[in-house]
Structure 1
Amino acid sequence: MQALAVRDTAALLAQVQRQWGGQSDLWVFGYASLIWRPEFDAVEHRPALVRGWHRAFQMRSRINRGTPAQPGLVYALVSGGMCRGMVYRIPKDRGREELDRLWSREMPTGVYDPRWLRCQTMAGEVMALAFTLSRRSPNFTGRIDDHEMLRILRHAQGRYGTTLDYLVRTAESLRQHRMCDRESERLLALAQRAGLV
């Protein structure tokens, strides 16, 4: 198996901090677990729409929801389409501290490409930090057939729990906020038909 390159996460964090600048509140876009387990102290959150990116259950997880021997899956923000999610506003005086905590969670190996994305909300547009995934990343799986998906849902488990639990909690949270996409609904139905849920 080819070893995965680990990126310099400290350099990526420093770049994002420079881009943000600390002169205004920090906005973060959540599209999966950041909706139901944000783990940072935001003073405001709003439903938001991002164009040009979509939520895809197509990223290997070798730490949080799987292991190197039995990789799991998590959602990623992949180019194309659109995505409904949540934006969170963190006051500028707590921005660096909360960004450090967020970085420890989302970027232990630097798998994501952090980007500032235009997020449309009912109260206007905000520029928010989002964690995207390149289709060229070795962690991008592309489409997975249902047989393989069910195998992963049955067996993959990492430091934060199972891939199955992650899928179910994300889909239920998206339903609750009326932002569920067709593929998330389909995957949840697949797991239910297989008796996993």
Structure 2
Amino acid sequence: MSVNTIEHNRTRQNFDGVSSVWLFGYGSLIYKVDFPFLEQQPASIEGWVRRFWQGSHDHRGTREAPGRVVTLIEQPGAVCKGMAYRVSPDVFEHLDHREKNGYLRFSTAMTFDDGRQEQGLVYIATEDNEAFLGHAPDADIALQISRSVGPSGRNDEYLLKLAEALRHLGDDDPHVFAIEAMLSA
């Protein structure tokens, strides 16, 4: 699959007659909210874990030296905590461009902190996209993140802001916090 997923995402869901959609954010969508929303609430999704396995050459790195950003990887029994936003469907024009580097929109069940459940959408970079880097030892991921810079800034800034946002949500993400600790060492 091509790295640029804008056109592909435009055909994935039909928003005709829909006034609002829930969106689940688990990475930069938690702390960099550069889009209008109608409502926001902490939420989680089941069966997924957050991993720094997606390459970023458009935001936190370059084609020659890609950074690493998070995607979701299936893991039975896992719970990924994040932030849910109720948005107007026209917001996806902006978000599809922002998340164009290999991310596709998928439907997901979300559970809010009060136990209520809703269907929503989530952007996931699957392993069949050209920018997918996959598993690497945490030390290698930390080194790559420490060296990468792109149009949106330093890759370590992305990691540190994500770790701070997860702490604020009360999430203990061993993968993110292990890489953060290696950057601080």
TM-score (normalizing by structure 2): 0.89
| 1:61 CA drift (Å) | 0.6
**1:120-139 equivalent positions in 2, closer than 5 A:** 120-121=111-112, 122=114, 124-139=116-131
**1:163-178 equivalent positions in 2, closer than 5 A:** 163-178=155-170
Please state whether the residue corresponding to 2:11 is helix, strand or coil: helix
2:139–2:179: 8 Å Cα contact kept in structure 1?
Answer: no
Q: Which amino acid aligns with 1:103?
A: D
Structure of greater Rg: 1
Q: Which residue of 2 aligns with 1:30?
A: 25
Query: Which structure shows the higher helix fraction?
Result: 1
Q: Which runs of 4+ in 1 moved over 4 A?
A: none
How many pairs are equivalent? 182
**1:1-197 equivalent positions in 2, closer than 5 A:** 5-6=2-3, 9-16=6-13, 18=14, 20-80=15-75, 81-90=78-87, 95-107=88-100, 109=101, 111-121=102-112, 122=114, 124-193=116-185
2:9–2:96: 8 Å Cα contact kept in structure 1?
Answer: no
| 1:57 CA drift (Å) | 1.0
Name the CA shift for 1:5/1:98 in 2 (closer, same or farther; >3 Å): closer
- Cα root mean square deviation, aligned: 1.9
| 1:49 CA drift (Å) | 1.3
| 1:8 CA drift (Å) | 5.5
| 1:6 CA drift (Å) | 4.2
| 1:143 CA drift (Å) | 2.2
Unaligned runs of 5+ in 1: none
Name the CA shift for 1:161/1:55 in 2 (closer, same or farther; >3 Å): same
2:19–2:89: 8 Å Cα contact kept in structure 1?
Answer: no
| 1:43 CA drift (Å) | 2.1
Aligned-partner Cα distance in 1 for 2:5–2:115: 36
Unaligned runs of 5+ in 2: none
